[in-house]
Amino acid sequence: MISVSQLTKVYGQTLAVDHISFEVAQGQIVGFLGPNGAGKSTTLRMLTCYLPPTSGGASVDGLDIFHQSEQVRSILGYLPENVPLYTEMKVHEYLDFRGRLRRMDRSTRRRRMGYVMDRCWLKSVEHKTIGHLSKGYRQRVGLADALLHDPKVLILDEPTVGLDPTQIRETRKLIADLGGDHTLLLSTHILPEVEAVCGRVIVISGGKIVAQGSPDELRNSRKMSARVLVECRGPAREVEQALARVSGVGGVELLDGQSDHSMVTAALRPKEGYDIREEVARTIIQHGWPLREIRLEHATLEEFFVQGTANQAMGRA
């Protein structure tokens, strides 16, 4: 449904998007995941025909984004990063206005407005002025606008940024519900977001695709696995050896090992499915080493990006 080939964008000296290629199949919900500045918004702006590529191209439902931009826009719903709403309009006025821009007739507008306001939980605020709405409600208005013409493809740029936890949960549920009927590409810089709703993830960093796969594949890749940090007082070498023998420990790395009987900090990699904390604590105490701290640390996405791009679990793009 979406086919991207060698898409590239250069802003002055900045290579924002660097020859990326990927496909999104019909009905899929794909997460476009990457840290700030990775090139997500730039890519989405090119796909939605708001920004011409420097080189390369893309098609949406077989339509070329450059030569058939009008048709592409007619089958696309786009929620931009900063939703440009007319703040002085009331919600229903705004949606009606957007529907007229899309040349929807009166009865279609009425039907679709009812549907999207229902879908996006806007019924209670339909007569409110947009400028008086909370960020969460404004985001929903943006989403309702993107859905108004029943587009085949939805492109959402960081759809849950700035929302509170309840709104985030509701928005994710809505996105999950929309999959199937629509093909969805959404960008985010947070991993739980793609885990919550996406069947596939494309990881972008520095304008390049560095990995892609299912959220499970991403989560299970070595770099994303959690680690347990242990701080205790004891002989570094012996502590290391004792911890390596604990069942479920896949690897031990001394971060701060000093001379005997000083503080030792070790990072332990648990084998998949193990919670090693209790056993590790027991082992340290049995040896009589004063235990100062034991902490489960989930690898952050930033770490994933910083650690480079080679990856066994996920095919490199």
Ligand X SMILES: Nc1ncnc2c1ncn2[C@@H]1O[C@H](COP(=O)(O)OP(=O)(O)O)[C@@H](O)[C@H]1O
Stretch that binds ligand X, among 10-18, 107-115, 127-135, 142-150 (CB under 6 A): 10-18
Shortest distance, position 41 Cβ to ligand X, whole Å: 3
* 79 lies in the binding site for ligand X (CB under 6 A): no
Q: Any long-range contacts for 263-266 (C-beta under 8 Å, 24+ apart)? A: 263/231, 263/232, 263/233, 263/292, 264/230, 264/231, 264/232, 264/233, 264/234, 264/235, 264/236, 264/239, 264/240, 265/229, 265/230, 265/231, 266/229, 266/230, 266/231, 266/239, 266/240
Among all chains, which residue has been given the structure tokens 């696995």? 225
Shortest distance, position 157 Cβ to Mg ion, whole Å: 6
Q: Which two tokens stand for residue 236?
A: 């570094």
* 40 lies in the binding site for ligand X (CB under 6 A): yes
Residues between 243 and 302 that touch ligand X (CB under 6 A) = none
Stretch that binds ligand X, among 9-17, 91-99, 147-155, 173-181 (CB under 6 A): 9-17
Partner from Mg ion, ligand X, none binding residue 283, C-beta < 5-8 Å depending on class: none
Calpha distance 68→75 (Å, rounded): 11
The alpha carbon torsion through 133, 139, 144, 146 (nearest 10 deg) reads 140
Residues forming the site for Mg ion (CB under 5 A): 40-41, 81
By beta-carbon proximity to ligand X, the closer residue of 11 and 226 is: 11
Shortest distance, position 26 Cβ to ligand X, whole Å: 25
Partner from ligand X, Mg ion, none binding residue 86, C-beta < 5-8 Å depending on class: none
Among the listed residues 34, 56, 77, 257, the single contact to ligand X using CB under 6 A: 34
Got the DSSP string for 30-99? EEEE--TTSSHHHHHHHHTTSS--SEEEEEETTEETTTTHHHHHHHEEEE-SS----TTSBHHHHHHHHH
**DSSP summary character for residue 273:** T
Shortest distance, position 189 Cβ to ligand X, whole Å: 7
Residues contacting ligand X: total by CB under 6 A: 11
Among the listed residues 37, 136, 179, 199, the single contact to ligand X using CB under 6 A: 37
By beta-carbon proximity to ligand X, the closer residue of 14 and 26 is: 14
By beta-carbon proximity to ligand X, the closer residue of 211 and 266 is: 211
Contact 227, 299 (CB under 8 A): yes
Partner from Mg ion, ligand X, none binding residue 232, C-beta < 5-8 Å depending on class: none
Residues that bind ligand X (CB under 6 A): 11, 14, 16, 34, 36-42
